[in-house]
Amino acid sequence: MKKNIFLWVGLLGLAALFWACSDDEEPLQEAPLEEEVLQLQLTTNSTEVEVGEQVVFEVTVGGQSINDAELWADGQRLDGYAHIFAQTGTVVVHAQKEGYENSSSLRLTVVAAEEEPEPDPEPEPEPLAVDVYVLGYGQHPAENGSWPVVWKNGEVLPLKKEQYGAEVYASDYRGLAVADEQVYLSGSSYLSGSNAAAFYWAGSDFHALTGHEGSNIVGNAGNDIVVDGGDVYVAGVLNTHSDVYNALYWKNGDPVMLTHEEGPGYFSAHASALAVHNGAVHVAGDRNGAPVWWKDGEEVILDASGLASSIAVSEQGIVFVGGIAFTGSGERACYWQDGNRTFLGNEEYKSEAFAVAVEGEDVYVAGYEERPRASGSGRVRVACYWKNGVTVDLGDGSYPTQAYGLAVVEGQVFAVGTASKPGEKLSVALWRNGEEFALTDGSEREVANDLVVVKRGPS
């Protein structure tokens, strides 16, 4: 019984001690949960790229794009999400951003770019096959003295002499045309003590347009010749009274008067150049010192004073007249487009235009412009042409040059004129796309005033 009492007393004491200890201890707290760290996901549009090829990366977390992560490739930070590798090899790339676990690494292979095969070379364009005819005046190899000369591709053609039943002591060829491989020429011829007579040649056939009546050596002239649809047109001047010169053209030998002055008194009108377009006859010339354009006989005064020396008509029927205008500072090259004047060259220096051509939308005018000499002493004439108003020099200014004839074929520009080289007499120069060719050697004085270029047909 005592043992039981002692047992209960012991148990009660232990219980009291336990409860006393329990009152002194702090309550137990649960450990905080660790925050989840999200990992970046790095992808690219290709894991194999060529040198010089751009590779584009994308960084996401849980499907949401991350636009401000840093990309590192082999320890070098990349600039942005697009990059071009300049060397071949293997590149390890990863993305990182504060607060996120770095992405797994991407391994890229950079290979050499495949060389594109060189394209086949463009075939060399075949040279433009043309025949170049030049009309001038100089020493003919078959005659003594100076005579009109026609060159074909640099070779002198046989001389044609007028057939008036009397000896011709001088001739002046002014117009040149070529049709169906036949050469047409117009001009004036002179007999001693007689008036000048107008004529034209059609191949080997001679046609007198006027006689030699009268004693005025200036007289009559065939200044230009055009062949259109089998018809032959010659522009010129007819001396109808001692001091009266009327402008006209002949069609197949029949005169068509452009002015009708009968005198008395002085009157001077000249038809200098002619063009035919869709049956309409356009003539450029002058009337008492004023440049004139006639369309089917209707007169248009182009300026108060000047000279109209050339004419061309575009496929659309736009009429261009080349010449000079007299300004307060002197003569200046110009052209008129349907009657509206455009000045050419530098207004400070003298210039003249002698020929005009049009191809497509481009307008070409040939002549010369004076320039200061390189030595600083005086001025020198420089042959040139203007394309749509922009000057293209033919001469280099080391000696005087002038361009009188012009032709344009498929964008290639031909011009002919004169050159006065040091120690030589005046010689004939031909320019093709700016390259100068001498038709004469400068041992005798020779000039050129007209040019025709004909494209050859298939052989």
Task: Encode pLDDT of 352-373 as tens digits.
Answer: 999 999 999 999 999 999 999 9
Question: So what's the pLDDT on residue 344?
Answer: 96
**Within this chain, do residues 358 and 278 fall inside the same structural domain, yes or no?**
yes
Angle at 287 between CA 285 and CA 288, to 5 degrees: 135
**Inside any domain, residue 4:** no
**Inside any domain, residue 122:** no
**Within this chain, do residues 223 and 309 fall inside the same structural domain, yes or no?**
yes
- Cα dihedral 324/449/273/196 (nearest 10): 110
Residues 406-454 have pLDDT tens digits of 999 999 999 999 999 999 999 999 999 999 999 988 888 889 989 999 9
**Within this chain, do residues 299 and 382 fall inside the same structural domain, yes or no?**
yes
Average pLDDT on 31-48 reads 80
**Inside any domain, residue 6:** no
**Within this chain, do residues 165 and 270 fall inside the same structural domain, yes or no?**
yes
Confidence of residue 163 (pLDDT cuts 50, 70, 90): low
**Inside any domain, residue 327:** yes
**Within this chain, do residues 53 and 90 fall inside the same structural domain, yes or no?**
yes
**Within this chain, do residues 101 and 150 fall inside the same structural domain, yes or no?**
no
Residue with tokens 């994308």: 58
Confidence of residue 29 (pLDDT cuts 50, 70, 90): low
Residue 79: helix, strand or coil by DSSP?
Answer: coil
Q: Among 61, 81, 111, which residue terminates a domain? A: 111
- What's the pTM value of the predicted model, to 2 decimals? 0.72
Domain that holds residue 48: 41-111
Residue 50 has pLDDT above 70, yes or no: yes
* Residue 409 β-bridge partners: 412
> Does residue 268 or residue 159 have the better pLDDT?
268
Q: What is the mean pLDDT of the chain?
A: 87
Asked if residues 332 and 344 have their Cβ atoms less than 8 Å apart, the reply is yes
Q: What percent of the chain has pLDDT over 70?
A: 85
**Within this chain, do residues 77 and 207 fall inside the same structural domain, yes or no?**
no
CATH of the domain at 81: 2.60.40.1930
**Within this chain, do residues 80 and 163 fall inside the same structural domain, yes or no?**
no
**Inside any domain, residue 47:** yes
> Rounded distance, CA 393 to CA 344, Å?
13
Residue 332 has pLDDT above 60, yes or no: yes
**Within this chain, do residues 99 and 141 fall inside the same structural domain, yes or no?**
no
Residues 173-198 have pLDDT tens digits of 899 999 999 999 999 887 766 678 89
Cα–chain center distance at 337? 19
Average pLDDT on 80-102 reads 92
Q: Among 76, 111, 146, which residue terminates a domain? A: 111
Q: Among 83, 111, 139, which residue terminates a domain? A: 111
**Within this chain, do residues 101 and 242 fall inside the same structural domain, yes or no?**
no
Q: Going along 15-119, which residue ranges are E strands? A: 41-44, 48-50, 54-61, 64-65, 70-73, 76-77, 82-84, 89-96, 106-111
**Within this chain, do residues 164 and 269 fall inside the same structural domain, yes or no?**
yes
Domain count, the chain: 2
Question: So what's the pLDDT on residue 417?
Answer: 97
**Within this chain, do residues 95 and 220 fall inside the same structural domain, yes or no?**
no
CATH of the domain at 319: 2.120.10
> Does residue 31 or residue 408 have the better pLDDT?
408
**Inside any domain, residue 141:** yes
Phi, psi of 120 (to 5 degrees): -60, 135
